[in-house]
Amino acid sequence: MLKKKNKGNSETPENTAEVTNDNGQTDGQEKAAENNQDGPSIEEKHKEELSQANDKYLRLYAEFDNFRRRTIKEREDARKTEGKDIIVALLPVLDDFERALRSMDTATDVASVKEGVALIQHKLKNILAQKGLKEMASVGTTFDADLHEAITSIPAPTDDMKGKVVDEMEKGYELNEKVIRFAKVIVGA
């Protein structure tokens, strides 16, 4: 509340009285009344904005949490079925092996059994090649530690075979241009 003082005689009651308007309110009361008449106070506006921001934050947090759970579940499902396509492609080869085993019981000609097994191997290699598997050629190439695993070294049969792969114990394989198994080789020294 504001009080106006008269610089003159300070003992009169008129000099120390508060200034009032026509409605009988002081200046401070008048300003508060104007704020209430125009709408909510600044404090109420801030509280409302804060509650809206908190609500928005909680909704965003819940949405992110749901997204995180959903992606974890999708990854888990993908891991469970990631090899499904290759397995489905290999099932006919498995069926061929079962037929070959049944026919071996009654077969009298070894050449036909050998030919059947060779056909199954060819079918298996074709399926794996379609999926991106490729055999690495090693014999006669220069030894490369990025592609080969040296089992042992032997004296080179000729001078030009020194430092090169003389024999291959296990083939190396690449899957989509990335080595998935190193070739186990014997190197000429």
CATH of residue 185's domain is 2.30.22.10
Q: What is the mean pLDDT of residues 118-128?
A: 91
Do the domain assignments include residue 125?
yes
- Same-domain check for residues 45 and 62: yes
Lowest average pLDDT, out of 24-28, 117-121, 167-171, goes to 24-28
Residues 6+ apart with CB under 8 A from 140: 161, 164, 165
Give CA–CA dist 159/188, Å, rounded: 9
Do the domain assignments include residue 29?
no
Q: What is the mean pLDDT of residues 83-93?
A: 87
Q: What is the mean pLDDT of residues 67-74?
A: 95
The range of the structural domain enclosing residue 172 comes to: 134-189
Q: How confident is the model at residue 154 (pLDDT cuts 50, 70, 90)?
A: confident
Strand partners, 133: 175
C-alpha Rg value of the chain to the nearest Å: 45
Q: How far is CA 48 from CA 34, 39, 52, in A?
A: 20, 13, 6
Do the domain assignments include residue 98?
yes
Do the domain assignments include residue 17?
no
Do the domain assignments include residue 155?
yes
Do the domain assignments include residue 14?
no
Q: Which of 62-71, 90-99, 152-161 has the highest mean pLDDT?
A: 62-71
The model's pTM is: 0.53
| Residue 66 pLDDT exceeds 60 | yes
- Same-domain check for residues 143 and 168: yes
- Same-domain check for residues 123 and 89: yes
- Same-domain check for residues 139 and 188: yes
Q: How far is CA 62 from CA 50, 59, 147, 165, 171, in A?
A: 18, 5, 49, 60, 53
Q: What is the mean pLDDT of residues 136-165?
A: 86
Q: What is the mean pLDDT of residues 30-47?
A: 69
| Residue 9 pLDDT exceeds 80 | no
Domain count within the chain: 3
- What's the 3-state SS for the chain? CCECCCCCCCCCHHHHCECECCCCCEHHHHHHHHHHHHCCCHHHHHHHHHHHHHHHHHHHHHHHHHHHHHHHHHHHHHHHHCCHHHHHHHHHHHHHHHHHHHHHHHCCCHHHHHHHHHHHHHHHHHHHHHCCEEEECCCCCECCCCCEEEEEEECCCCHHHCCEEEEEEECEEEECCEEEECEEEEEEC
Q: What is the mean pLDDT of residues 178-185?
A: 89
Do the domain assignments include residue 16?
no
Q: What is the mean pLDDT of residues 137-164?
A: 85
Q: What is the mean pLDDT of residues 88-109?
A: 86
Q: How confident is the model at residue 31 (pLDDT cuts 50, 70, 90)?
A: low
Lowest average pLDDT, out of 32-36, 40-44, 48-52, 66-70, goes to 32-36
Strand partners, 183: 148
CB atoms within 10 A of CB 39: 9
| Residue 83 pLDDT exceeds 70 | yes
